[in-house]
């Protein structure tokens, strides 16, 4: 809740309470409280959040009561006051539960820049459309170490390049989840710490490719990506068209998801394997494009010149949920990936053992289906030829490993119980420790660093 929203809530409570003050103090208190409400509301214009409108509705009812029932009996007046207080409490509670996210300050020494690129793979047909001439196109957002950024530099819009794109993406995500679009108005108002097209810092940096969850979008792990970038990595998060809830292309077209389940378990499993394969191919293609970008071979460019900055010989495939399964599949098929991070993703049953070191973060395993997923994951990691790690994080849930704790209600079954910033800190610290060890050969005691956050199994 912002300062001015808090002011409106306090003023509204005072306005409601003024009805029950002694006659001498009633009118002055009501007028003062009304002035506070009007001033606070004016400072949230031109687009107050919907939660505030609920509070203001209570103020309208109070004002109407003052005009229509100066001598109303005590019982209706009490009922009206309680109704108004319930509206204020509901609005304030919703503002607290669904806030505008505040992104944690990146922990590394570098400022962070970001840029968005769109690439078409001439070698692959688009599997989601009937026209064989359609080629597969992906959108990738890069976060990278940047030279110092002044305090007055505009920061990147969350969920998109512009507020309009953010509104489109948030609306599509809400529709995908079966929720009203207004419930996700908080994230569309947020800005992160990165600056668009900031000048890259000097040096060559390992690259970390990221695939979001099913229906997820490239920005769903922005806090994680910014923190890694501040520590000296280039993170490239991928929108998968026809899978991600909405992908806004450079020409303004919006590609909506075609992901859908059926009532047939076998068909759903077949579809899931297909989605994983497409995502894995997207990650491999993006790695190729990053190599070309590093060499200066790409004709299409953003406002950022990353020539000579991308060390694709040190590359990690990472992802959340089905994106984690896609990361494992991409690494299985492409030895250019030298590490894998799977954020709570169930691998495909046909997934082979990994040649690369893997870090798998999982939520607490309590149910039978989760146990089956854990058994499959453990079997794959145990058969790998490199040392891998599975970290089960107490107090975590499936969305703990994303930005979701920053703006969704803090319900343990939904976002875990590690707290809004605690969830982000755990995910970034564990992943950074793993990447530092396997991509930079730093000598930190990796098992000790990981086990401080949960129950660790080493394979």
Per-residue pLDDT tens digits for 200-217? 999 999 999 999 999 999
pLDDT of 221 strictly over 60: yes
At 312, the pLDDT band (50, 70, 90 cuts) reads: very high
Handedness of CA 194, 198, 204, 210 (dihedral sign): positive
Q: Could you give the C-alpha distances from 116 to 159, 256, 257, 390, in angstroms and in order?
A: 12, 19, 20, 32
Q: Which residues contact 45 (CB under 8 A, 6 or more apart)?
A: none
> Is the CB of residue 62 less than 8 Å from the CB of residue 85?
no
pLDDT of 330 strictly over 60: yes
> Is the CB of residue 444 less than 8 Å from the CB of residue 433?
yes
Q: Tell me which residue has tokens 């859908």.
A: 260
Q: Which of 126-135, 207-216, 363-372 has the lowest mean pLDDT?
A: 363-372
Q: What average pLDDT score do residues 243-270 get?
A: 93
Q: Which two tokens stand for residue 153?
A: 């530099």
Per-residue pLDDT tens digits for 79-113? 889 999 999 999 999 999 999 999 999 999 999 99
Helix and strand totals (H; E) in the chain: 13, 12
Q: Which residues contact 180 (CB under 8 A, 6 or more apart)?
A: 174
pLDDT of 303: 72
Instruction: Output 137 or 367, whichever has higher pLDDT.
Output: 137
pLDDT of 9 strictly over 90: yes
Q: Tell me which residue has tokens 């992908």.
A: 247
> Is the CB of residue 145 less than 8 Å from the CB of residue 111?
yes
pLDDT of 340: 98
In this structure, CATH architecture of domain 111-458: 3-Layer(aba) Sandwich (3.40)
Q: Which of 184-193, 255-264, 280-289 has the lowest mean pLDDT?
A: 255-264
Q: What is the DSSP letter of 184?
A: G
What is the rounded distance in angstroms from the CA atom of residue 453 to the CA atom of residue 459?
18
pLDDT of 19 strictly over 90: no
Mean pLDDT of all residues belonging to the chain: 93
At 261, the pLDDT band (50, 70, 90 cuts) reads: confident
pLDDT of 72 strictly over 80: no
pLDDT of 52: 92
pLDDT of 69: 59
Instruction: Output 144 or 43, whichever has higher pLDDT.
Output: 144
Q: Which residues contact 321 (CB under 8 A, 6 or more apart)?
A: 212, 213, 214, 216, 343, 344, 345, 346, 398
pLDDT of 71 strictly over 80: no
Per-residue pLDDT tens digits for 33-67? 999 999 998 988 888 999 999 999 999 988 887 77
Among residues 204, 68, 88, the alpha carbon closest in space to that of 145 is found at: 204
Domain ranges (residues) in the chain: 3-97, 111-458
Q: Which two tokens stand for residue 2?
A: 């912002």
pLDDT of 282 strictly over 60: yes
pLDDT of 329 strictly over 80: yes
At 365, the pLDDT band (50, 70, 90 cuts) reads: confident
What is the rounded distance in angstroms from the CA atom of residue 4 to the CA atom of residue 47?
13
pLDDT of 299: 64
What is the rounded distance in angstroms from the CA atom of residue 320 to the CA atom of residue 401?
7
What is the rounded distance in angstroms from the CA atom of residue 195 to the CA atom of residue 156?
5
């Amino acid at each position: 809740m912002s300062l001015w929203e808090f002011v409106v809530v306090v003023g509204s409570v005072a306005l409601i309470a003024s009805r029950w003050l002694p006659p001498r103090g009633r009118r002055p208190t009501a007028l003062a409280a009304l002035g506070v409400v009007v001033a606070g509301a004016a400072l949230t214009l031109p687009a107050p959040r919907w939660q505030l409108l609920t509070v203001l509705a209570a103020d309208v009812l109070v004002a109407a009561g003052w005009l229509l029932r100066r001598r109303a009996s005590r019982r209706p007046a009490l009922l009206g006051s309680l109704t108004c207080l319930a509206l204020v409490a509901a609005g304030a509670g919703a503002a607290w539960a669904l806030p505008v996210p505040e992104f944690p300050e990146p922990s590394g020494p570098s400022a962070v820049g970001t840029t968005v690129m769109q690439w078409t793979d001439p070698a692959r047909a688009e599997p989601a459309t009937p026209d064989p001439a359609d080629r597969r196109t992906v959108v990738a957002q890069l976060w990278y170490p940047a030279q110092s950024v002044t305090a007055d530099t505009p920061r990147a819009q969350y969920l998109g390049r512009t507020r309009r794109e953010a509104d489109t993406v948030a609306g599509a995500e809400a529709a995908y989840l079966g929720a009203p679009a207004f419930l996700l108005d908080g994230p569309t108002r947020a800005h992160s710490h990165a600056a668009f097209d900031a000048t890259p810092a000097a040096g060559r940096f390992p690259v970390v490719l990221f695939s979001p969850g099913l229906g997820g979008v490239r920005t769903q792990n922005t806090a994680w990506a910014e923190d890694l970038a501040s520590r000296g990595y280039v993170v490239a998060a991928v929108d998968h068209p026809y899978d991600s809830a909405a992908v806004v292309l450079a020409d303004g077209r919006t590609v909506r998801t075609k992901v859908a389940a059926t009532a047939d378990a076998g068909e759903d499993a077949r579809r899931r394997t297909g989605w994983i394969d497409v995502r894995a191919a997207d990650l491999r293609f993006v790695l190729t494009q990053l190599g070309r970008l590093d060499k200066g071979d790409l004709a299409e460019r953003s406002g950022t010149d990353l020539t000579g900055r991308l060390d694709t010989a040190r590359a990690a495939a990472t992802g959340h949920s089905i994106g984690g399964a896609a990361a494992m599949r991409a690494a299985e098929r492409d030895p250019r990936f030298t590490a894998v991070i799977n954020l709570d993703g169930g691998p495909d049953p046909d997934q082979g053992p990994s040649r690369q070191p893997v870090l798998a973060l999982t939520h607490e395993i309590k149910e039978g289906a989760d146990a089956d997923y854990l058994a499959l994951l453990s079997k794959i990691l145990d058969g790998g030829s490199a040392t891998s790690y599975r970290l089960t994080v107490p107090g975590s849930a499936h969305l703990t490993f994303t930005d979701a704790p920053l703006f969704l209600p803090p319900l343990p079954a939904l976002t875990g119980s590690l707290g809004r910033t605690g969830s982000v800190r755990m995910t970034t610290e564990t992943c950074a420790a793993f990447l530092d060890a396997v991509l930079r050969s730093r000598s930190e005691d990796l098992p000790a660093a990981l086990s401080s956050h949960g129950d660790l199994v080493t394979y």
